[in-house]
Chains A and B, each alone.
Chain A
Amino acid sequence: MANGYRDSHNYFAFQPFNESSTYAVELVRVLDDGQRVPVANGRWEGYDWNELIDWGPLRSPWHQRHAFSGVDAVLDFLDNALNWVADNTPGDTETLYFEATVTYYRNARGPYVTVIRSHERDLGDP
């Protein structure tokens, strides 16, 4: 429980309803040539963000969403989700990495903006 005061997720710390924060994401694909392609409604190259992630707290993040377990927890999940998507979309042969511009309100204060990127994908030889 004591660990929950430094852990952004508050695992096993029993701190429910800890924040009323919200967030929204502007997701883009950055291609090998540097071109930035917005991911409109979470769909690109035959993939669907909601189908891939399929987890309530990160569903449809392009709309303003409640930050499950707080903003810090959502930012950590989003960071891992971008990497997971980068690793699990083999049919996408264009995207070098994903970039999420996150606009959030912490307990109605804000907006604050932060940018999260996935790791770079191996696109093979051109």
Chain B
Amino acid sequence: MTAATSSNTAAADWRFRRQRWLSEVFDQPASVRGVAVLRIVLGPSVIWHLRPFLADALGGVTYHDRFQQPWWSWFPNAPAGLYVALLWIGVAAAVLMTVGLWSRTATWAAFAVVAYNLFLSQTHFHHNRAFLVILLAGVALCDNGRSLSLDALRRPPSDDRALVWPMWLLRFEAAAVYFASGFSKLIDSDWVSGRVLHDRAVRYQNEVRDALGDALADPVLEVVTARAFHWVLSPAAVATELFIAFGLWFRRTRLAAVWVAVAFHVGIEVSAHVQVFSVIAIGALAMWAVPSTRDRTLVTPSRWVGWLDWMARFDTTVVPGASWCMVDRDGTVLEGREARRFVRTRLPATFPFSRFWRYR
């Protein structure tokens, strides 16, 4: 084969792959189960996000009564009564999102309320709120009520498939968030050298002492306030975010990236107050599941698989006394302990404790 022929073949192969990917993104319906899982996570998150605004409103205080910094002079300001009503509409929409009643309309309503509240004043801005608005928009763009919803119970659809280009938008957005956070720190010499985190650790050591008590806090603080510790921790944090940003895109690294992301968000939640960010970011990881359902067959003696298979990875048959047997998408058959271990890697609740690296 000549070099020119090889080059032509590679170009044709690349064109074919690109066309197949574009078709997969824009034309082919696929399961919206992951989007539905995210919708269910976002519902309570919207309520949790609106909670402080509602608490103030119940005390007779709205954004009109405190310092505000408008984004744009033309942006409409709701009178206090209408503003409070909008907050409650947001809560109602979030409840409907969670149970999946009028799912798509409810998601749009929740998006409208959260976005309106965010853009009333720059003092309402937090990164987690911006991420929440973007996720709500993405979920609303998708026909998310076809699965895990009262809508699907009331009027069962033929299947749980719909166009999933919004899911790809959400994947891009989620990866971009990790990349933006990691890259901005990578090019900041104060951050990557550990200066920023060390200074915070030193400044907030009293909170650690209050939380843990002197006996436990002393050895912990000896480590976390040491300058050398942050020479390692800060580059590791940057590498973690960049690994998640890129690792999510590739099949061979995806499960590892999801595991690292879960651990990363749990770590942040323990050490900092980030409002709804940890919950919605972990929920958004559902976007990275392959958008097809029940395409592995499983025979199992256990009922717990059915209860924990939130992403509908398995077409499960429970046979009391049977041994485990799982047939993968490519026809690979796993039996006994191997099948059980594989199943654990595909159930969200058991995934963090599974041997996911053996079954990519």
Q: Does A112 contact B (CB under 8 A)?
A: no
11 more contacts with CB within 8 A, not counting A19-B190, A52-B67, are A9-B125, A13-B180, A14-B177, A14-B180, A15-B181, A15-B185, A17-B196, A18-B191, A20-B200, A77-B122, A84-B67
Q: Does B184 contact A (CB under 8 A)?
A: yes
Q: Does B69 contact A (CB under 8 A)?
A: yes
Question: Which of A's residues lie within 8 Å of B, judged by CB?
Answer: 1, 4-5, 9-20, 22, 52-55, 57-58, 66, 77, 80-81, 84-85, 107-108
Between-chain CB contacts (< 8 Å), 25 pairs: A1-B180, A4-B184, A5-B184, A9-B122, A10-B184, A11-B122, A14-B131, A14-B184, A16-B181, A17-B200, A18-B185, A18-B196, A19-B196, A20-B195, A20-B196, A20-B197, A53-B67, A54-B66, A55-B66, A55-B67, A55-B123, A77-B122, A84-B67, A85-B67, A107-B196
**A108 CA to B190 CA, complexed, in Å:** 10
Q: Does B12 contact A (CB under 8 A)?
A: no
Q: Restricting to B170-197, which residues have a CB under 8 Å from any CB of A?
A: 176-177, 180-181, 184-185, 188, 190-191, 195-197
A80 touches B131 (CB 8 A): no
Contacts of B184 in A (CB 8 A): 4-5, 10, 13-15, 18
B195 touches A4 (CB 8 A): no
**A9 CA to B124 CA, complexed, in Å:** 12
Q: Which residue of B lies closest to A20 (CB)?
A: B199
Q: Does B65 contact A (CB under 8 A)?
A: yes
Return the 3 tightest CB-CB contacts between A and B, nearest first: A54-B66, A20-B199, A14-B180
B67 touches A81 (CB 8 A): yes
**A89 CA to B348 CA, complexed, in Å:** 54
**A17 CA to B190 CA, complexed, in Å:** 12
Q: Which residue of B lies closest to A56 (CB)?
A: B123
Q: In angstroms, how far is the closest chain B Cβ from the Cβ of A76?
A: 8
Pick from B67, B68, B177, B199: contact of A107, CB under 8 Å: B199
Tier of interface size on chain B: 20 to 34
Proximity string of chain B (321-343) to chain A, C-beta cutoff 8 Å, 1 when within and 0 when not: 00000000000000000000000
**A66 CA to B177 CA, complexed, in Å:** 24
Q: Restricting to B190-212, which residues have a CB under 8 Å from any CB of A?
A: 190-191, 195-197, 199-200, 203
Q: Which residue of A lies closest to B195 (CB)?
A: A107
**A23 CA to B276 CA, complexed, in Å:** 27
Q: In angstroms, how far is the closest chain B Cβ from the Cβ of A85?
A: 8
Q: In angstroms, how far is the closest chain B Cβ from the Cβ of A11?
A: 6
Contacts of A54 in B (CB 8 A): 61, 65-67
Q: In angstroms, how far is the closest chain A Cβ from the Cβ of B268?
A: 9
Q: Which residue of A lies closest to B204 (CB)?
A: A66
Q: A1-B180, A9-B122, A14-B181 are in contact. Are A77 and B130 (CB under 8 A)?
A: no
**A125 CA to B190 CA, complexed, in Å:** 53
**A1 CA to B183 CA, complexed, in Å:** 11
B123 touches A20 (CB 8 A): no
B69 touches A80 (CB 8 A): yes
B196 touches A11 (CB 8 A): no
**A108 CA to B225 CA, complexed, in Å:** 14
**A68 CA to B293 CA, complexed, in Å:** 44
Q: Does B274 contact A (CB under 8 A)?
A: yes
Contacts of B180 in A (CB 8 A): 1, 4, 13-15
**A15 CA to B191 CA, complexed, in Å:** 11
Q: Does B272 contact A (CB under 8 A)?
A: yes
Q: Does B127 contact A (CB under 8 A)?
A: yes
**A81 CA to B200 CA, complexed, in Å:** 26
**A16 CA to B197 CA, complexed, in Å:** 12
B123 touches A77 (CB 8 A): yes
Q: In angstroms, how far is the closest chain A Cβ from the Cβ of B288?
A: 18
Contacts of B122 in A (CB 8 A): 9, 11, 77
